[in-house]
Amino acid sequence: MKALRSLARRVLGRGRPDYRELLFRDLADYLGGRTPRRILEIGPKDGQDSARLVTLEPERLVLVDLPAMAPQSQAWLPALDAARVEYISANIMYSPEVDRLEPFDCVWCTGVLYHNPEQLRMIRRLYDMLVPGGVLALESATARARGLRDANCVQIIYPPSPALKRKYHISASRGSSRACSSVGATYRCSWTRMRRLATSWPAAA
């Protein structure tokens, strides 16, 4: 029976749309034909989102990823428009080079937040990098269990096991109410709601 369920998941899962493509379509619809002058992408991974963001025709697309990802990024970077694209190898949370960047009209960040142990501080950091009225496109997984991946919910794993802490970069102190988020499902945010929430959080230290 277990093998049958596994086969069914593989078969039925085929043909599902790429959530990052859906999120990009949402962004394009929200922009309504407007062209962001400057776009920042955090953690470009395979470059697929970078290629989509270039189609918005910004004057500048800045990509920031960890130094360990530089060799992987070099495999797809040459295919992008070099006149528009700038690649920075750094940790966005602690980089003086990132601190010196001009604000952006749009910040794009998918599949990165749950890796950071300072998640609220990171969201505030991204928000602070926007121009007034700019757009923060933020996606992060909210559930790990397979049965919850398509549900509109948040799965909290507390207290996390040592194995989970290592695997998902979770930080949670004993006795603390700062629970942890996990990985798995897509969260498609409301742009205006995200901006409103971000303004209520304390500024990053």
The per-residue pLDDT for 182 is: 32
Task: Name the CATH architecture for the domain at 2-140+187-199.
Answer: 3-Layer(aba) Sandwich (3.40)
Long-range CB contacts (within 8 A, 24+) of 197-200: 198/123, 198/124, 198/127, 198/136, 199/127
pTM of structure: 0.68
Q: Express each pLDDT in 162-182 by its tens digit.
A: 876 666 555 544 333 233 333
> Is residue 115 pLDDT above 60, yes or no?
yes
Question: In the chain, what are the domain boundaries?
Answer: 2-140+187-199, 142-185
Mean local confidence (pLDDT), 139-152: 72
The per-residue pLDDT for 44 is: 94
Residue 138, classified by CB atoms within 10 Å of its CB into exposed (0-12), middle (13-18) or buried (19+), is buried
Cβ proximity of 43 and 65 under 8 Å: yes
Which whole-number Å values give the CA distances from 93 to 136, 193, 200, in the listed order? 16, 23, 20
> Is residue 45 pLDDT above 80, yes or no?
yes
Give how far the C-alpha of residue 125 lies from the chain's centroid of Cα atoms, to the nearest Å: 13
Residue 170, classified by CB atoms within 10 Å of its CB into exposed (0-12), middle (13-18) or buried (19+), is buried
